[in-house]
């Protein structure tokens, strides 16, 4: 600690050592507990997987900490399982989760507003209405923003014709409507980005779920997946699963086979690849390049990559004191940008903040991830991992993908577990299953 801040424990040690006692407590930057108020004030921006979890778990670890969650929506609609909605396997309404339990059961204060700006020196957050909230610790879990225009031609306006559906809501409905209006025998094109991006297996589950819909409604149609990468998550399992369930309906074109799209013409539903091939779609779904939500940039926690680097143990920002970042907005490789990881990070960071406010060292962190992908009804695959710290870096301690040679029963169980997982994590995050 070299930046002039001392925590409660250090202050106490110091007091003990110097026999000085109360004088320091009055002058130093000591959390409000010293003054007999709450054990500290935490503001959390974003009520998605990371934000809702960190708010709840801070309260579970120490109810005396005051927690305010800032989130514009009254219900958060999740990206997880939105592919299953597109595939006709899940109801859209079941993707929505409210904040009632966080308020009534855990005592989190929820403010439905957008955080507009962060004043790191004054330790405040300004809300869209102009109001400000002050904090002792700030947690940002704003998810992703699209890098509009980074992929030539892919602007906000273009997304109204060629949806991304990478943030659940109106975009998901738009894509579903376009699928329903598509002629039998048409071509669905999905454009997949280079790393890093939200949900590495997401594009591959998406085409599987689109295939599931097309198979029973428009069986003559084709799916073309144009990819800016040559390797992707659970590749062998997906290629095998697509073939087994959908024959040759899905064609994947990797970067070295000229799969990287460099220009989008949303009016014509055309895309152009790196080496100049033009593909025409009936429905065009572009998963564009991304970066951390804008509030992370406002707070100054992001670097040139557009993501927020974090201190591995706590996910505190190494750039801005008192600010923590979790979820998709972080660069936390090898952890993927998944809802599961955002939730797991929320818990570790909740423990770190509670410990920090109490003036003690936080626990050695441990995070986990399991990403289920539903390839077809009764056919699920997964990748799982446990992460910890080795030599100062986050590393995968254990993990792997489902076996390549698993039998039908195994795939069926993983499909069932996917649904059970979704219900459990939404219960764990928002209290609504």
Q: Which residues contact ligand FAD (rule: CB under 6 A)?
A: 45-51, 70-73, 76, 79-80, 82-83, 114-115, 141-143, 166, 198-199, 202, 206, 293, 295, 327-329, 337-340, 342, 371-372
Residue carrying the six token digits 């001392």: 6
Q: Are strands 367-376 and 379-390 parallel, antiparallel or unpaired?
A: antiparallel
**Closest CB 82 distance from another protein, rounded Å:** 19
**Closest CB 348 distance from ligand FAD, rounded Å:** 14
Locate all alpha helices (DSSP H) within 97-231, ordered by sequence. 100-104, 156-159, 170-181, 202-217
Q: State the greatest distance between any 2 C-alpha atoms of the chain, in Å, as a whole number.
A: 82
| Closest listed residue to residue 44, CA positions, set 122, 110, 131, 126 | 110
What, of another protein, ligand FAD, none, does residue 51 touch, CB below 5 to 8 Å by kind? ligand FAD
Of 39 and 84, the one with the shorter C-beta distance to ligand FAD is: 84
Of 151 and 295, the one with the shorter C-beta distance to ligand FAD is: 295
- Each as own residue / partner, the long-range contacts of residues 254-260 (CB below 8 Å, 24 or more positions apart, any chain) are 254/227, 254/229, 254/230, 255/227, 255/228, 255/229, 255/230, 256/230, 259/225, 259/226, 259/227, 259/228, 260/194, 260/226, 260/227, 260/228
Of 252 and 340, the one with the shorter C-beta distance to ligand FAD is: 340
What, of another protein, ligand FAD, none, does residue 139 touch, CB below 5 to 8 Å by kind? none
Element counts in the chain: helices (H) and strands (E): 12, 24
What, of another protein, ligand FAD, none, does residue 72 touch, CB below 5 to 8 Å by kind? ligand FAD
What, of ligand FAD, another protein, none, does residue 368 touch, CB below 5 to 8 Å by kind? another protein
How many other C-beta atoms lie within 10 A of the C-beta of residue 247?
A: 11
Of 122 and 363, the one with the shorter C-beta distance to another protein is: 363
DSSP 337: S
Our measurement of the distance from residue 424's CA atom to the centroid of its chain's CA atoms, rounded to an integer in Å, reads 17
What, of ligand FAD, another protein, none, does residue 83 touch, CB below 5 to 8 Å by kind? ligand FAD
What, of ligand FAD, another protein, none, does residue 9 touch, CB below 5 to 8 Å by kind? another protein
**Closest CB 421 distance from ligand FAD, rounded Å:** 8
Q: By the 8 A CB rule, do 365 and 392 touch?
A: no
What, of another protein, ligand FAD, none, does residue 97 touch, CB below 5 to 8 Å by kind? none
**Closest CB 313 distance from another protein, rounded Å:** 7
| Alpha carbons 323 and 43: distance in angstroms, whole number | 10
Of 371 and 375, the one with the shorter C-beta distance to ligand FAD is: 371
**Closest CB 140 distance from another protein, rounded Å:** 17
**Closest CB 71 distance from another protein, rounded Å:** 19
Of 139 and 351, the one with the shorter C-beta distance to ligand FAD is: 139
Q: By the 8 A CB rule, do 243 and 237 touch?
A: no
| Alpha carbons 236 and 245: distance in angstroms, whole number | 14
**Closest CB 264 distance from ligand FAD, rounded Å:** 18
Of 87 and 254, the one with the shorter C-beta distance to another protein is: 254
Q: By the 8 A CB rule, do 386 and 368 touch?
A: yes
Of 144 and 182, the one with the shorter C-beta distance to another protein is: 144
**Closest CB 298 distance from another protein, rounded Å:** 19
| Alpha carbons 135 and 42: distance in angstroms, whole number | 5
| Alpha carbons 211 and 242: distance in angstroms, whole number | 9
**Closest CB 344 distance from ligand FAD, rounded Å:** 10
Of 142 and 362, the one with the shorter C-beta distance to ligand FAD is: 142
């Amino acid at each position: 600690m070299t930046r002039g801040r001392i925590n409660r424990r250090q202050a106490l040690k110091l007091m003990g050592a110097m026999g000085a006692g109360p004088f320091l407590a009055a002058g130093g930057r000591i959390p409000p507990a010293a003054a007999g108020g709450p054990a500290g004030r935490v503001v959390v921006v974003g009520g998605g997987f990371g934000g809702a979890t960190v708010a709840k778990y801070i309260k579970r670890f120490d109810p005396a900490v005051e927690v305010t969650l800032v989130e514009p929506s009254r219900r958060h609609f999740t990206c997880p399982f939105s592919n299953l909605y597109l595939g006709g396997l899940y109801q859209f309404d079941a993707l929505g989760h409210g904040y009632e339990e966080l308020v009534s059961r855990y005592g989190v204060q929820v403010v439905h507003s957008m955080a507009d700006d962060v004043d790191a020196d004054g330790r405040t957050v300004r809300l869209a209405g102009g109001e400000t909230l002050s904090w002792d610790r700030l947690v940002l879990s704003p998810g992703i923003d699209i890098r509009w225009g980074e992929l030539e031609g892919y602007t906000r306006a273009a997304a109204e014709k060629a949806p991304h559906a990478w943030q659940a809501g109106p975009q998901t409905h738009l894509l579903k409507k376009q699928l329903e209006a598509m002629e039998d025998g048409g071509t669905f094109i999905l454009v997949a980005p280079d790393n890093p991006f939200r949900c590495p297996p997401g594009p591959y589950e998406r085409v599987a779920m689109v295939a599931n819909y097309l198979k029973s409604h428009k069986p003559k149609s084709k799916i073309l997946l144009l990819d800016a990468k040559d390797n992707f998550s659970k590749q062998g399992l997906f290629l095998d699963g697509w073939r087994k369930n959908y024959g040759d309906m899905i064609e994947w074109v990797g970067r070295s086979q000229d799969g990287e799209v460099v220009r989008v013409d949303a009016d014509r539903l055309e895309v152009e690849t790196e080496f100049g091939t033009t593909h025409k779609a009936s429905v065009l779904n572009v998963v564009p390049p991304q970066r951390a939500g804008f509030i992370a940039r406002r707070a100054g926690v992001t670097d040139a990559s557009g993501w927020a680097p974090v201190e591995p143990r706590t996910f505190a920002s190494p750039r801005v004191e008192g600010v923590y970042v979790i979820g998709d907005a972080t660069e936390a490789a090898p952890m993927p940008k998944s809802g599961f990881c955002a939730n797991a990070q929320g818990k570790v960071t909740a423990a770190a903040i509670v410990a920090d406010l109490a003036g003690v060292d936080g626990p050695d962190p441990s995070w986990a991830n399991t990403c289920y992908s539903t390839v077809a009804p009764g056919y699920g695959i997964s990748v799982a991992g446990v992460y910890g710290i080795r030599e100062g870096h986050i590393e995968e301690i254990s993990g792997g993908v489902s076996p390549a040679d698993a039998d039908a029963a195994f795939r069926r169980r993983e499909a069932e577990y996917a649904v059970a997982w979704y219900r459990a994590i939404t219960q764990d995050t928002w209290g609504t299953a």
